Amino acid sequence: NAGVIQTPRHKVTGKGQEATLWCEPISGHSAVFWYRQTIVQGLEFLTYFRNQAPIDDSGMPKERFSAQMPNQSHSTLKIQSTQPQDSAVYLCASSFPDWGGQDTQYFGPGTRLLVL
Amino acid sequence: QQNVQQSPESLIVPEGARTSLNCTFSDSASQYFWWYRQHSGKAPKALMSIFSNGEKEEGRFTIHLNKASLHFSLHIRDSQPSDSALYLCAVSMDSGGSNAKLTFGKGTKLSVKS
């Protein structure tokens, strides 16, 4: 099991450019989460899919951020018109929901985004 | 809005010491409580979880939850240099349902000196 795969591992963009981040969840996991991590804000929730359907996007900056899950094997996070404050490590996590409460989220290594 | 706070922000302990990390949360409806460990430059990894009041022990690690006090903690017995990492506590309202997101504290940076 390769774990959650995220690509690219590092991305540098210029202010105003678009960035697309990719996540491949663990095979068989039906829930996918996106978080971002900065020194100042810590680890913050962005959005969540279950069985490819969007469930909760309460953490997403609405204007420039969007996420999709076109099939069960990958999800994308797109940031349009990137700004320096978008610089962060973007983490994807997946889980196999166990209604009994053992819903461990497994994190990928993250994509480090730097906006210059 | 859930607010999760951790203390201390950082901690330096000698090898072999007992270490205690604390986490408080604001929403009394919280159901699931997690500790994650993140080594430098690596992904956060689930360490332990608890879902009901009381204690749970796994090896050198013990998690304690007091929902009435809105507090849970992680205790590490016989701390090792390999335990040096960022420890993140996290809370969720649901498991597998519509509110399964984790709300994290900002972390405690633990350094274990040999």
Distance CA A33, CA A92 (A): 6
- Whether the pLDDT of residue A4 is over 60: the answer is yes
Identity of residue B106: K
Question: What pLDDT is recorded for position B1?
Answer: 86
Lowest average pLDDT, out of A41-55, A85-99, B6-20, B47-61, goes to: A85-99
Question: What pLDDT is recorded for position B99?
Answer: 78
With 0-12 CB in 10 A as exposed, 13-18 as middle and 19+ as buried, what is A16?
exposed
Question: What pLDDT is recorded for position A106?
Answer: 95
* Per-residue model confidence as pLDDT tens for chain B (114 residues): 899 999 999 999 999 999 999 999 999 999 999 999 999 999 999 999 999 999 999 999 999 999 999 999 999 999 999 999 999 999 998 776 777 899 999 999 999 999
Is A108 in Cβ contact with B43 (below 8 Å)? yes
Q: Is A85 helix (H, G, I), strand (E, B) or coil?
A: helix
Among the partner-chain residues A4, A56, A97, the one whose CB lies closest to the CB of B95 is: A97
Q: Which of A8, A62, A59 is nearest to A34 (CA)?
A: A59
Question: What pLDDT is recorded for position B48?
Answer: 94
Interface test with B, best of A89, A90, A103 (most B CBs within 10 A): A103
Is A43 in Cβ contact with B104 (below 8 Å)? yes
Residue B47: closest C-alpha in chain A: A104
